[in-house]
Amino acid sequence: MKLTLSVIKADIGGWVGHCGMHPDLMADGEASLAKAKKSGLIIDYHVTKCGDDLQFIMTHTHGVDNSEVHEMAWNAFKSATVVAKKLKLHGAGQDLLVDAFSGNVKGQGPGVAEMEIEEREAEPVVVFMADKTASGAWNLPLYSIFGDPFNSIGLVISSNMHKGFKFEVHDVKESKKITFDCPEEMYDLLVFIGSPSRYSVKAVYSRETGEIAASSSTQKLSMLAGRYVGKDDPVCIVRAQGIFPAVGEVLEPFARPHIVEGWMRGSHHGPLIPVAVREAVPTRFDGPPRVIGAGFQLANGRLVGPLDMFDDIAFNNARQQGLDMADMLRRHGPFEPHRLPLDEMEYTTLPQVMKKLQHRFESI
């Protein structure tokens, strides 16, 4: 049976400010998805949250980019937005960029990561969800998981991973894509994905069988809307075990927090800190950025889980390191490299300030 795993998320109102998710929105999302399950449109679902983002994890048999599934998710976000508006939550409905749904949530605001698979005898998957960052945040971990033997020893000693993986990379500014065969083209790959504000790893495929191994959301909301409307706070699905890296290899890159864009006003760099779902409530300077991992075994489309993957003392050092990195960056205040380069910030006063002061600039 061909099974589709769809993760669709949106920020439709924060509680309090942009920090968390009100339980009434989750309850409304649950009710919408329960109805969709009862109607047979989806097989199973799990509703969760990461910071101020409402997350729908769903299984069905309709393939990726399916308009009925996307429309149902869109309507569920719309319905929860009504609740958010009643509670006067912050930025109610902010990620629903158009008034009417038109076939596919891609390009309309919600973030989406999907994959169609043939469910294996045992099918472990991890759904990563992040808040206060952007889609390029997955580049470094996906590279580590599927390309770096110092992270994934399976690339060296497991015969079914030894051929390596294919990386599909999207240029989010020019809407173009290219695929790299690794390990041979690793240096070429890194030229691009080392610049995650422009190039994002969209998907990874096994070179052993051609099967999809990972799929991420690559929307850049600020560009979709042509103005700042919120961060794209990305999601990513990763399959594990067998021809794919082990669950432990999939989680391992997050034990070494890296710096991503998206903290305060989408205009600052900060460490991506791995936390349990209950700790994904970014209140310090609206951050620092968080990542959660929901693990499932799939059983004929049933989502057996979640297991809260970062709820493990083994990630305590990573959390501490992340907090130390956050302190170090905060010390820079409005200076780079904490603040993003001028043309990357999601909020800017540069045009107004420049206009006001233009006549005072003299040649030197």
Assess 266 for contact with ligand F6R (CB under 6 A).
Answer: yes
The CA distance from 343 to 364, in Å, is: 24
Among positions 59-98, residues that touch Mg ion (CB under 5 A) are: 91
Q: 172 Cβ partners below 8 Å, 6+ apart?
A: 135, 136, 198, 199, 200, 218, 220, 223
Catalytic annotation on 166? no
Assess 258 for contact with ligand F6R (CB under 6 A).
Answer: no
Residue among 114, 123, 232, 286 that touches ligand F6R (CB under 6 A): 286
Helices 139-147 and 186-193 sit at what angle, rounded to 10 degrees? 170
Residue among 9, 46, 106, 132 that touches ligand F6R (CB under 6 A): 132
Residue 191 vs 350, nearer CB to ligand F6R? 350
Q: Are 340 and 261 in contact (CB under 8 A)?
A: yes
285, exposed or middle or buried, with CB in 10 Å at 0-12, 13-18, 19+? Answer: middle
| Helices marked H in 133-212 | 139-147, 154-157, 186-193
Assess 230 for contact with ligand F6R (CB under 6 A).
Answer: yes
Task: Give which of ligand F6R, Mg ion, none residue 265 binds (C-beta under 5 to 8 Å, depending on kind).
Answer: ligand F6R
Assess 346 for contact with Mg ion (CB under 5 A).
Answer: no
Task: Give which of ligand F6R, Mg ion, none residue 13 binds (C-beta under 5 to 8 Å, depending on kind).
Answer: none
Catalytic annotation on 45? no
Assess 286 for contact with Mg ion (CB under 5 A).
Answer: no
DSSP string, 298-329: EETTEEEEEEETT-SGGGHHHHHHHHHHHHHH
Residue among 4, 8, 14, 322 that touches Mg ion (CB under 5 A): 14
Residue among 7, 11, 115, 243 that touches Mg ion (CB under 5 A): 11
Assess 231 for contact with ligand F6R (CB under 6 A).
Answer: yes
Cα-flanking dihedrals φ and ψ of residue 31, to 5°?
Answer: -65, -45
Assess 283 for contact with ligand F6R (CB under 6 A).
Answer: no
CB of 68 to ligand F6R, least distance (A): 30
Q: Per the residue annotation, which of 49, 166, 202, 231 is the catalytic one?
A: 231
Helix (H, G, I), strand (E, B) or coil at 149: coil
The CA distance from 293 to 127, in Å, is: 6
Q: Per the residue annotation, which of 9, 11, 53, 202 is the catalytic one?
A: 11
Pairing of strands 290-299, 273-274: parallel
Residue 51 vs 124, nearer CB to Mg ion? 51
Task: Give the footprint of Mg ion on this chain (CB under 5 A).
Answer: 11, 14, 18, 51-53, 91, 131, 233
Active site residues: 11, 228, 231
